[in-house]
Structure 1
């Protein structure tokens, strides 16, 4: 595991996640190590719903964001400058 995997995700990184993420990414969002994540999944106590796909666990980003208490995506000045946010309000 490299240093990047051990640091919690920033809000910006959370908002840029795809539709679903692996358990490692979800664990980083909560600031926990993989051992804790697997233990919580095994106990059925992971902070949000996980879906088993084969031998791996996936987490829907919408469920992850809800568990983190994030209801909507904020608009950043960079998004406005790039024209991305304008499509959100049309």
Structure 2
């Protein structure tokens, strides 16, 4: 039987095991030219509240443009940030 000596270590391991795999270039391109802020935040592993705070202050990891009450993010900026840009990978 496994002895639990550090609950924090166990919790961190559980989070690491349950994290989704990083997105592929093809899955990002399937989003189209732009995506909404929450989709971009999920890809970049930023929480919802933090994403809106960063977008409002202009500090979101990629440029986010406010259109009316919504933010949009160019998928090209996300692929470039993640190093999945096809122009730079060849």
TM-score bracket for the superposition, by shorter chain length: 0.5 to 0.7
Matches within 5 A, 1:23-38: 23-38=37-52
Give the TM-score, by structure 2 length: 0.64
Match of 1:15 in 2: 29
Answering whether residue 51 of structure 2 is matched by residue 43 of structure 1, we say no
Seen in structure 2, the aligned counterparts of structure 1 residues 36 and 8 have a Cα distance that, compared at 3 Å, is farther
- 2:86 aligned counterpart, secondary structure: coil
| C-alpha distance in 1 between matches for 2:83 and 2:52 | 22
| C-alpha distance in 2 between matches for 1:18 and 1:9 | 18
Once superposed, which parts of structure 1, at least 4 consecutive aligned residues long, lie more than 6 Å away? none
Find the structure with the greater CA-based Rg: 2
Q: What count of residue pairs does the alignment treat as equivalent? A: 68
Deviations 1:6-42 (A, max 9, x none): x576325223211100001100110111111011112
Give the TM-score, by structure 1 length: 0.64
Aligned-pair Cα RMSD in Å: 2.2
Seen in structure 2, the aligned counterparts of structure 1 residues 10 and 71 have a Cα distance that, compared at 3 Å, is closer
